[in-house]
Structure 1
Amino acid sequence: MTKRTIEIMDTTLRDGEQTSGVSFSVSEKLTIAKLLLEELKVDRIEIASARVSEGELEAVKKVTSWADSENLLDKIEVLTFVDGGKSIDWMIASGSKVQNLLTKGSLNHLTHQLKKTPEQHFADIKATIELAAKNNIKTNVYLEDWSNGMRNSKEYVFEYLDFLTTQKIERVLLPDTLGVLTPVETFKFIAEVKEKYPKLHIDFHGHNDYDLGVANVMEAVKAGTNGLHLTINGMGERAGNAPMASVIAVINDFLEDVKINTNEKALNKVSKLVENFSGFRIPVNKPVVGANVFTQTAGIHADGDNKNNLYFNDLMPERFGRKRKYALGKTSGKANIQKNLQDLGLSLNDEELKKVTQRIIELGDKKEVVSQDDLPYIISDVLDSDTIEKRIVVENYVLGHAKGMKPSTTLQLKVEGIQYEAHAQGDGQFDAFMNALRKLYKTHSKKDLPGLIDYAVRIPPGSHSDALCETIITWKGEKKEFITRGLDSDQTVSAIKATEKMLNII
C-alpha cells in the first residue's frame, strides 16, 4: 500500500505562546525551534506573529539566522496580516521567507470585523501575495473562522477558494478558530473542500474547546487533509490546540494509509523542555507525556504485566523515550514492589517482601507518596526494626516551634505498659525532645542515655520536599558505639523513630 505523507506544522512558538501567561525569551524560542526541527523532526514551524514587538523581531532574527545556516529557512513560518505591506516589511527585516497570511474565512467575520465586501477583501489579499512574491516570500493563507464559514456562509468560502486557486500560494490553512467543530462536521467539511479543490494543499488547524481536538484531527486526515497544525502539550489560547503527542500516537497506531516524518521518541524530551520554559504544567494524566500515564498503581496490574504483559497496550513508554513505572502506595501489591526491586537489582524472601509491602501500605494510608528511590530506605528500616524487641514505645509527643521562642516538646513514653510524661525546651525540636527524654530517664531510671555523637539525614537523590527522609544516628554507649535509623517524611519524626530504636536496644 502506498501511504500518503501528512505534513506536521508545529505552532507552539506562535499559537502556543498565546496561552495565558506564557512568553518565551529569545534564547528559549531558538532552543525550542532547534529541538522541533532537528530532534522531533516536524516538517515546519510557525514561530511568531509579525509586528508584535521588538523582542519578537529579535527572536525571529535569531531563529531565521540559525535556520538559514542549516538550510532550513523554508521550514520557518510567520503569521502576517493584510495591512498594506507592513507585515511584509517586518518579514524582510526578520529574515523570514514564508508568510501565513491571516484572512477572513467566514462572511460573518468579513462583514462585521473588516466591514468589507468579498471583492474588496480579495483585492487586498491579491496585493499582499504579489508584494510577498516580489520579495521572494512564499505565501500560505489562513481562512480565519473557516469552520463557522462552512456552517453559515459556505457560498462565501467556496467563492474565496475559487479566488485562491488563481493565486500563487503554497497552502490553504483551514482553522477551527473557536474549537466548535464535531468530528462528523470536520470530516464532511474537509472532504467537501478536497473534492472541489483536489489540487490545493490543505492544512487543518484544530482547537480543543470541547476536548475534540484529537478526534477532529483524525477525521480531517481521513477526509484527505495534507497537513496538520499542532502544539507541544496542547498549548494555545483558551483550551489550547490539538496536542502534538496524542496526535502523533493516534496517526502512527490507527491511520494505516498515512505516514508522518515526526520522531515520536523525542516527544517526551521536547514536551518537558517546553513545560520548563513556559511554566505551563503538564497534567499528570495527560496522554503520552503526563507523569502518571506509564505508571501502574494497582498491584493486580503489575501481576498481570509479569504474566505475559496482560495490561500493556500499543502505547509502550519506550516509544516516547520513557519507561514504565509501578507505583508504591496503599493499592500496591507484592507484584508492584517486585517490579521496583527488579529495577534496583534487589531481592527479598517472601516474609521480608510481605513486611515491606505492609509498610508501604501504611505509608500510603498516611497519603505519603512513595517512590522507587525510597524503597531501599524502607527495606532497611523494616528489616532493622525486625531485629529489635519493642519494649519501649514513644506513645505521643507535641513539638512546638514559634518565632522568638525556644522550641519545646511534651513527651509521653510507655515502658513495658507504664506511661510516663515530661516537658522540656531545647535549641531545636529534636534537642527539646531529647531533653524531655533525659528528664524522664533521670527521674525514673538508673541508666544513663547514650551520647549522640553523629546525626546524618538522607533523602533519595533527585527527590523533592515530600520525599521520605532517613535519619541515621550514631550513639556512644557504655561499651561501644551503635547506629539506629528512622524513616519518615518529616525529618524530626524520623529522628524520633531512630531514638525509639535506641531506647529498645539499651
Structure 2
Amino acid sequence: MKASQQVELFDTTLRDGAQTAGIAFSVEDKMRIANRLAEFGMDWIEGGWPGASPKDDLFFAQMKNRNWPNSRLVAFGSTARPGHAASKDRGLNNLVESGADAACIFGKSWDIHATKALGITLEQNLELVSESVAYLKQRLDYVMFDAEHFFDGYRASPDYAIKVLKAAADGGADALVLCDTNGGSVPSYLFDVVREVVARFPDKIIGIHAHNDSELAVSNTISAVQAGARHVQGTVNGIGERCGNANLISVIPILKLKLGIDCDVSDVELQQLSSLSRFVNEMANRLPWQHQPFVGQNAFAHKGGIHVSAIRKQSSLYEHIDPALVGNEQRVMVSDQAGRSNILSKLQLLEPEAGLAADDPVVAEAVTRIKELEAAGYAFEGADASFQLLLRRAMGRFRRHFELVRFRVYDEKRGHHDMPEAEATVQVRVGGKLVHSAALGNGPVNAMDKALRAALVDVYPGLSAMQLSDFKVRVLSTKQATEAMVRVLIESSDGHRKWSTVGVSTDVLEAAYRALNDAIEYKLVMDQVPPPDEQDRQSSS
C-alpha cells in the first residue's frame, strides 16, 4: 500500500459491478480489468466471491501470481451460515484459501433482516458477526466488515446497528463499512449517522458503500467522507445491481480536485481516469455515456456561440475544471446555434498558423454554409469528419480524390420468404481514368460501400483497411411519410481511428452515398494521400 493516504479506495467493479443487468465478465475480462485497476493504483480490488461460481474460483486461481506493487486483492463473502461454526463454514474457508490479500464479509445490521431473513435471534446474529470476523482475522492480515443495510437498520434501531459494528470490531475487523444497500438514504441523514459512528469507533477505519437507487450514491459517498469516513467503496462508471453503485470515476476527482482530500491518486494517475472509464466500458460491452461527468465525450463540449466565445478567452468561464486533469478534452460543437466563435475555434485547430480572425471571410463563409446545411437537415455534432471537410473546402484546402460518374443499386427479392439480394455498380473518374466496379452486399448500402471502395482501392490501397462500423438512418419529418428527408450517419474505422460522416437527402441511397463519399475522402485526407494529379506530378519530378 502507498503511504500517507487519508482516504483509501476500494473498487468492487468485478463483484458488485458484475451484478449489473446485461453485463457478463469472462474470467479473462476480470483479469484484464483487475490488472488495469492495479496499474491505476487502486488500493483495494475486490475480485469476487470465492466458491460462489466456477468463474470466480478460476479468477482467484489465475490471480495468485499477480505482481501488484500498490494494490491488494480482496475476496468477498458473508458471515458464517446460521448453525455452523465459523471454523467449519465452507464460505469462510473459501476466503482463506483464495489467495487474496484480504477479505470483506457482510453481515446483517438491520434487526428485521436478522430475525426475518436469517430466522435467528438478534444475539445469535451478533455472535455470527464476531466469530466470523475473528476466524478470518486469525488467518488473514486484513479483514473488512460490510454492515449490510446499516442506514436503514440505524433508522429502525440505532442501538442494535451499533452493537453489530461493535461485534465486528471486537472480532478484530480492521475496517467497518457502512452500507446504504437499498440506496434510499439522503446526504444530510447519512452525514449525521457517519459522524456518530466515527465518534463511537475512533480507532477503526470507517467506510462507506453507497448504492444509487435515489441517484445520490456519489453525493452520499462525499458526505460520508466529509463526516470522517476514510474508506470508499464503489465501481468504475457506477455499474452495479439495480441502479448501480457510487461511481469512483466521479468520486475520485471530487475528492482530489474539489475538496483537496488525499485519496492517494497522483496527478498522472488522475489523467488516466478517462481511459480507465473507456476500458471498463469496452470490457463490459457497453456504449460509453457521452454525458458522463468528468470523462464523457460531452463533459466539456460547448455548443452555444456565447459559451464558445467565452471559453476562447478563458476556459474556466464555462468549465469547472481543466479537462486535461482527468484525461479528457474540450470540444466545440457545431449546429444551427453556432456562431463565429465555434467555427473560428475549429478552423484554428485545423490551421493554427493561419492567424484567422472572427471577421475573416473564410469564417463568414463557413458559418453561412453550415447554417444552410443544418437548415436542410444536416447535423454536424455527430459527424465531425464531414464538418472538417466542410471547413477545408471553405479554406480552399480541399481537392477531391475522385469524381462520381454514376452509381446504380439493385435490390431484388424473389418470393415472400427469401432474403433480398443487393448489387451495386459504380463508375468513378480518378484523375483522367474511368473505373467501373460492381459488388454484392448485405443490403444496398453495404453493396454500394463495397463497390465504391473496390473502384478506388487500386489507386488508394489504404482504403482496404477501412470499414463501416455503424450506420444510422433518421427520418427528419414524419409528416411527409416516405417522401421525407432522411439523415444518414456513418461511423467508419481503419482499425486505428474512428470517424463519423453525414449525408441528407429525400433518397436514402443518395444520403448514404454522401456520407460514404465524405468517409472515404476523410480517410485519404487524414492519411495525407495526394489527389491523383498531384501523384502524377510527384512521380514525374
Normalization by structure 1: what TM-score? 0.76
Distance 1:46 1:35 in 2: 13
C-alpha contact 1:104 1:144 (8 A) present in aligned 2:
yes
CA-atom RMSD, angstroms? Answer: 3.5
1:13 aligned partner? 14
Q: How far does the alpha carbon of each residue in 1:79-115 deviate from its partner, in whole angstroms, 9 at most, with x for none?
A: 1122342123322442123111110010011111001
Distance 2:49 2:384 in 1: 45
Which sections of structure 2, spanning at least 5 residues, go unmatched? 400-405, 415-421, 437-454, 471-488, 493-500, 505-510, 519-541
C-alpha contact 1:202 1:226 (8 A) present in aligned 2:
yes
Between the aligned residues of both structures, percent identity stands at 23
2:412 aligned partner? 403
2:498 aligned partner? none
2:180 aligned partner? 176
Secondary structure of 1:21's partner?
coil
C-alpha contact 1:25 1:59 (8 A) present in aligned 2:
no
CA shift for structure 1 position 463 = 8.2
- RCO higher in structure (CA 8 A, sep ≥6): 1
User: Which aligned pairs between 1:155-174 and structure 2 lie closer than 5 A?
Assistant: 155-174=159-178
CA shift for structure 1 position 404 = 4.2
* Paired letter, 1:195: A
1:233 aligned partner? 237
Distance 2:11 2:294 in 1: 17
Change (3 A) 1:158 1:28: same
* Paired letter, 1:99: A
CA shift for structure 1 position 427 = 6.8
Q: How far does the alpha carbon of each residue in 1:342-361 deviate from its partner, in whole angstroms, 9 at most, with x for none?
A: 22236468222222222223
* Paired letter, 1:368: A
Distance 1:101 1:487 in 2: 53
Q: How far does the alpha carbon of each residue in 1:278-311 deviate from its partner, in whole angstroms, 9 at most, with x for none?
A: 0233321110121211111112212112223363
Secondary structure of 2:146's partner?
strand
CA shift for structure 1 position 241 = 0.7
Query: Is residue 288 of structure 1 aligned with residue 291 of structure 2?
Result: no
Change (3 A) 1:333 1:158: same
1:260 aligned partner? 263
CA shift for structure 1 position 48 = 0.4
Change (3 A) 1:367 1:72: same
Distance 1:319 1:380 in 2: 31
* Paired letter, 2:131: A
* Paired letter, 1:403: E
Change (3 A) 1:61 1:308: same
Secondary structure of 1:204's partner?
strand
CA shift for structure 1 position 380 = 4.6
C-alpha contact 2:131 2:171 (8 A) present in aligned 1:
no
Q: Which moved more, 1:103-112 or 1:29-38?
A: 29-38
1:492 aligned partner? 513
C-alpha contact 1:15 1:236 (8 A) present in aligned 2:
yes
C-alpha contact 1:430 1:492 (8 A) present in aligned 2:
no
User: Which aligned pairs between 1:420-439 and structure 2 lie closer than 5 A?
Assistant: 428=424
C-alpha contact 1:65 1:95 (8 A) present in aligned 2:
no
Query: Is residue 330 of structure 1 aligned with residue 340 of structure 2?
Result: no
Secondary structure of 1:215's partner?
helix
CA shift for structure 1 position 33 = 1.3
CA shift for structure 1 position 261 = 0.8
Determine which structure has more spread, i.e. the larger CA radius of gyration.
Answer: 1
Distance 2:163 2:280 in 1: 40
Change (3 A) 1:468 1:28: closer
C-alpha contact 2:42 2:70 (8 A) present in aligned 1:
no
Query: Is residue 221 of structure 1 aligned with residue 225 of structure 2?
Result: yes
1:393 aligned partner? none
Query: Is residue 79 of structure 1 aligned with residue 88 of structure 2?
Result: no
Distance 2:516 2:255 in 1: 53
CA shift for structure 1 position 385 = 12
Question: For 2:385, which of 366, 373, 378 is the aligned residue?
Answer: 373
Distance 1:125 1:259 in 2: 31
Secondary structure of 2:341's partner?
helix
CA shift for structure 1 position 170 = 0.9
Distance 2:351 2:466 in 1: 17
1:479 aligned partner? none
CA shift for structure 1 position 367 = 4.4
C-alpha contact 1:64 1:76 (8 A) present in aligned 2:
no
Change (3 A) 1:379 1:188: closer
C-alpha contact 1:329 1:363 (8 A) present in aligned 2:
no
C-alpha contact 1:214 1:246 (8 A) present in aligned 2:
yes
